[in-house]
Amino acid sequence: MNMSIDTANTQLNSEEEALSSLTNLTDRLQEISISLGNVTFSDSVHEDFAIEMTELVDMGQSLFNYQDTKGEYLFAGAQGGKPAYELEAGRWVFKGDGENRHVKVSTTFNVQVSDSGQDIFEIESPLIPRDNILNQTLDMINDIRALDMSIPADAATFEVRREAYMGKVSNMQDSMRHSISNLGARMVNLDAVKESNANFKMNLSKALSDVQDLDYAKASSDLAKTQTALEASYASFAKIQGMSLFNYIK
């Protein structure tokens, strides 16, 4: 079972690595969205932010499609053989399913070793339709480039959308923190199972040793009893030889 535990740990560590990178990415997006509220920035500064955000979207999609050491897509649900996200008509669309993969690490315990992107990347709320931070960032990039900040109406529209975008990024950050926390709990459980397996193995070895020792002692005891009985027979035979009847019979 330790091999299964090592496999599960490898999977969870891979996912933690991807989610940690995504956390750093969303942190940077939030920094940018805050900076975009500075009305003194020129159009060229806004364009620099748009270029960086485009690069972050590209990094994000590669992390959404993160592959483990076996080449399976971590966030595709049970369909690890194909990408979790694909680009369709300029939008990043989830192509996996809502299932999660598990590994049996003991006779009574299965550990979840993957999270579907549908659960952790596709954010939904009463005010926000189901979507992901990649598309939401693309929308923000379009607003940066399409709206003229020198026109009051455009500037007001941009501010409303910027604040809404900040809320979406914040939701993504919360999802990352929650997911990483869950990963940590699973890793703790794996360590407990591994320790339990080690204790069981040690106790089993001791029990086998005790059994072997017990068999050896029993065999020695049986041999001693046999030797005693044999010696008693010899003694009786010697006494019988000394009796007159025995002599008479002879």
Q: How many CA atoms lie within 13 A of 238 on its CB side?
A: 6
Residue 8 has pLDDT above 70, yes or no: yes
* Most distant CA atoms of the chain, gap in Å: 142
Residue 1 has pLDDT above 80, yes or no: no
User: Looking at residue 218, what is its pLDDT?
Assistant: 64
Q: CA of 69: how far to CAs of 12, 86, 176, 191, in Å?
A: 11, 21, 22, 21
User: Looking at residue 179, what is its pLDDT?
Assistant: 95
Residue 203 has pLDDT above 60, yes or no: yes
- Taking residues 206-231, what's their average pLDDT? 58
Phi, psi of 51 (to 5 degrees): -65, -45
Mean pLDDT across the chain, nearest whole number? 84
> Under DSSP, is residue 110 helix (H, G, I), strand (E, B) or coil?
strand
User: Looking at residue 228, what is its pLDDT?
Assistant: 61
User: Looking at residue 181, what is its pLDDT?
Assistant: 95
Q: Return the structure tokens found at 18.
A: 């991807």
Domain borders along the chain are: 2-200, 212-248
pLDDT tens digits, residue range 19-44? 999 999 999 999 999 999 998 999 99
Residue 237 has pLDDT above 60, yes or no: no
Residue 77 has pLDDT above 90, yes or no: yes
- Which residues neighbour 104 within 8 Å (Cβ) at sequence distance 6 or greater? 1, 4, 110
Tell me which H or E stretch contains 124: strand 123-125
User: Looking at residue 250, what is its pLDDT?
Assistant: 41
Tell me the percentage of the chain whose pLDDT exceeds 70.
Answer: 76
Does the domain at 2-200 match CATH 1.10.10.10? Answer given as no
Question: 134, 57 in Cβ contact below 8 A?
Answer: yes
Residue 87 has pLDDT above 80, yes or no: yes
Residue 169 has pLDDT above 60, yes or no: yes
pTM for the predicted model, two decimal places? 0.77
Residue 63 has pLDDT above 90, yes or no: yes
More confident residue, 92 or 235: 92
User: Looking at residue 150, what is its pLDDT?
Assistant: 93
Burial 62-98 (b: 16+ CB within 10 A, else e): ebbbbbbeeebbbbbbebbeebbbeeeeeebebbbee
User: Looking at residue 223, what is its pLDDT?
Assistant: 54
User: Looking at residue 235, what is its pLDDT?
Assistant: 47
Strands 91-94 and 102-104: unpaired
- Taking residues 127-146, what's their average pLDDT? 92
Kindly report the number of other CB atoms within 10 A of residue 115's CB atom: 21
18-22, 212-216, 233-237: which has the minimum mean pLDDT?
233-237
